[in-house]
Chains A and B, each alone.
Chain A
């Protein structure tokens, strides 16, 4: 295992671990014992790969974006997670975890969701497997992501509003953890990002690692070498970035770029730029960077993008920051909107608002004409049409 992965205790350098109340300890111990043997089993690999291929539609294309490349005088490749079934990378993880849940004999699935993409992915996987599904979603997010709420309901999931705090992703996560405390034996908590207590960050990263695995194969085929010069992804909790980085972590020549959401601006007080602002603390069971006040109370984040509206970040990313292995940028709401419109007009691809943050790196960095730059388009923009309609006066 490389120095960028979790150690035996679930630590990434000083980050990670499992800071959970005793009530969750048996669940976490159980998962910790089982997840690697299950993931590494042939039976799991066969079923997971076959579902990714025939159900999710993988491999997702790596598309050479010609007009975007011309504009930025470099070579831009888009990893098209937006073309997956259900419209984002979240399904890779949901399919993997539901197979693990099944192998562990659980029949009730709970999840948290921000943008609703993970909720939809989970509800989809549950429909596929015939499992009961409860999704917690902040009341604010329920309003701004209405189409995804309807999709979850149509898929048979129960959507429960999180009414506490900022009524967004962190509060939905609190509610899901409370549900798990109250239902420790029959329930599997299907976390949607590389956050939470160990082993979740590692488990989710492994299930998203298919993204970088495919990028390497596709780059080799297209360019004759598996390694691009840059890989770029947005970070909320950080799962699409973790998957995009995974097989490049030890390829030190590949520069890793993560873009977080600055909301109205890093210093505006209305932001979700965890790395830019954060200091070390503990959120949802993990030691990491988070946005907190001087008394250790977690500050309610803000971003136009519900999927990035989270005050923490996965512990592996905190470690990538501290070791200097990855570059962290932040993009404001306006940066993201500009990048979304640009991609739409130049390439005919309407990205999710989250993914638009990653695309804004093209303006924030300078690339050489010979550089090969891979950007993960984590999801499609259907769910954000209401915001786009308002902001672009469509």
Chain B
């Protein structure tokens, strides 16, 4: 079975993926933002599930998470918002969040619900890969939901191979040793790391994330991967936006087409 994520990577390059925090800036913006992103030509979306203690995130996503939680966002509310999403949105959707709220919801129940509403994959950075393999992989596979893993400049080759072997979607390449948040420009050692990963000829495509904020960094990363993920820069923009639809279109246009 090819799912939406695999199809996307087969058909396209220079993939633009956008991350935003569900329930931000206001609780019911989630679906509106998804529709606007698809309309503007974004290829894949990561929907952040806010957590009280987002320890891999920088100030922008921390702040958006706090606002979203105060707005009343929860995993239950998010699934309610997404119940009819496949009537209006066709691009692949990925949920991203920390393990504790998912654990509290019930990992099996969570995956089943993802499949039910049409979520294609999940990224849970602090779910250990070995635990995923031992305890949860059959659940994910059975539901047809992809588990997407991160690698970093420090990840050893043997571990990258293990992750690649057990992945059937894409690998999230964290651009540098950092938490999320816009850092400008790519240093030579980051390019060397991207090339090192390319030379490994992994079976899965890669997307580069962390610090990608504008057209320049997007184009640069597209040279070394199937595409890139923009997070904090987008979250910052929607937090200040007086008109979400048109501002999202402008933001995406600026990155994709300059």
Which of A's residues lie within 8 Å of B, judged by CB? 17-23, 25-27, 164-165, 170-171, 174, 177-178, 181-185, 281-285, 290, 292, 294-298
- B69 contacts which chain A residues (CB < 8 A)? 297
Complex-state Cα separation, A181 to B58, whole angstroms? 11
In contact, A285 and B154 (Cβ under 8 angstroms): no
B interface list, Cβ under 8 A from A? 51-56, 58, 62, 66, 69, 74-76, 99-105, 125-129, 131, 149-152, 154-156, 159, 174, 177-179
Central interface residue in B54, B55, B131, by most chain A CB within 10 Å: B55
Beta-carbon nearest neighbor of B149 in chain A = A22
Chain A residues closer than 8 Å to B74, beta-carbon distance: 295
A282/B126 in contact, CB under 8 A: yes
CB distance from A292 to the nearest CB of B (A): 7
* B103 neighbours in A (Cβ, 8 Å): 281-282, 296
Find out whether the CB atom of B55 lies under 8 angstroms from the CB atom of A177: yes
Cα(A18)–Cα(B104), bound, Å: 17
- B177 surroundings in chain A (CB, below 8 A): 23, 181-185
A296 contacts B55, C-beta separation under 8 Å: no
- Asked whether A298 and B156 contact (CB < 8 A) given A17-B128, A23-B174, the answer is no
A-B pairs with beta carbons under 8 A, tally:
104
A22-B151, A23-B174 in contact; A295/B126 too (CB < 8 A)? no
Chain B residues with Cβ below 8 Å from A184 are: 152, 154, 177
Q: Which residue of B lies closest to A175 (CB)?
A: B55
Bound together, the chains give a CA A284 to CA B99 distance in angstroms of: 11
Give the shortest distance, in Å, between B131 (CB) and chain A (any CB): 7
How near does chain A come to B31, taking the closest CB pair, in angstroms? 20
Q: Find out whether the CB atom of B128 lies under 8 angstroms from the CB atom of A18.
A: yes
Which chain A positions have C-beta within 8 A of B76? 295
Report how far A170 CA is from B155 CA in the complex, Å.
27
Name the residue of chain A whose CB is nearest to the CB of B72. Answer: A295
How far is A164 from B51 in the complex, measured between Cα atoms in Å? 12
Smallest Cβ-Cβ distance to A23: which chain B residue: B152
A120 to B216, CA, bound (A): 45
The reply to whether A23 and B150 form a contact with Cβ atoms under 8 Å apart is: yes
* Chain A to chain B contacts (Cβ below 8 Å), 19 pairs: A19-B99, A19-B128, A21-B56, A22-B155, A23-B152, A25-B159, A165-B53, A174-B54, A174-B55, A178-B58, A181-B55, A185-B154, A281-B104, A282-B100, A283-B100, A290-B100, A295-B74, A295-B76, A295-B101
**Closest beta carbon of chain B to A59's beta carbon, Å:** 38
Closest Cβ–Cβ distance, residue B130 to chain A (whole Å): 8
| Chain B residue contacts of A284, Cβ below 8 A | 53, 55
Contacts of A25 in B (CB 8 A): 154-155, 159
